[in-house]
Amino acid sequence: FSAALISQIENRMVSPSLGTLVKIANAFDTSVSALIGGKEERAFSIVRKEDRTTVSRVGLKEGGRAAYTYEALGAGKAGRKMEPFLVRLKPLLDRNVARNSHEGEEFLFVLSGKVEVFLGRYSDVLSEGDCIYYNSTIPHHVHSTEEKEALILAVIYQGK
């Protein structure tokens, strides 16, 4: 990530993607949940629905519109290797979206809706109940294929 991107994040001009958050967390030797307000102090984690923090991913290309929102589901678990998220994917406005890549692996499970996954040169549409598991160093992008929001469970393994 660049100094310009960090400046835009700090000045709330853009919200970082999950991939960018993973890279920043790795650079600071911390977890994504710790960056968005989680406390790491227990051997287990229970995150109640009403206690989850929702973060909107807003990019410049979306014109200030959230491309997706995510909720950290592993906040409070010390020393975790995986970062679980509940992700709400908005319908895509611009099909020419940059793909992310970062260290580790990702597992995505479609809870509702349909999503299109781009993984390197490969793409596929996943429906409710479908899942994909991949090496996240491969440039990737996921979006809702319908005019409505899609809901996925995303688990990122940071490889540390």
Distance CA 118, CA 122 (A): 6
Q: Are 74 and 83 in contact (CB under 8 A)?
A: yes
> pLDDT 10s per residue in the chain (160 long)?
677 777 777 776 677 776 777 777 777 777 676 666 656 567 888 889 998 878 776 554 445 455 788 898 988 888 888 989 999 998 876 666 778 888 899 999 999 999 999 999 999 999 999 999 999 999 999 999 998 999 999 999 987 6
Predicted TM-score of the model (pTM): 0.75
Q: Which of 103, 111, 104, 112 is nearest to 148 (CA)?
A: 112
Distance CA 8, CA 57 (A): 13
Please, what are the domains in the chain? 3-157 (2.60.120.10)
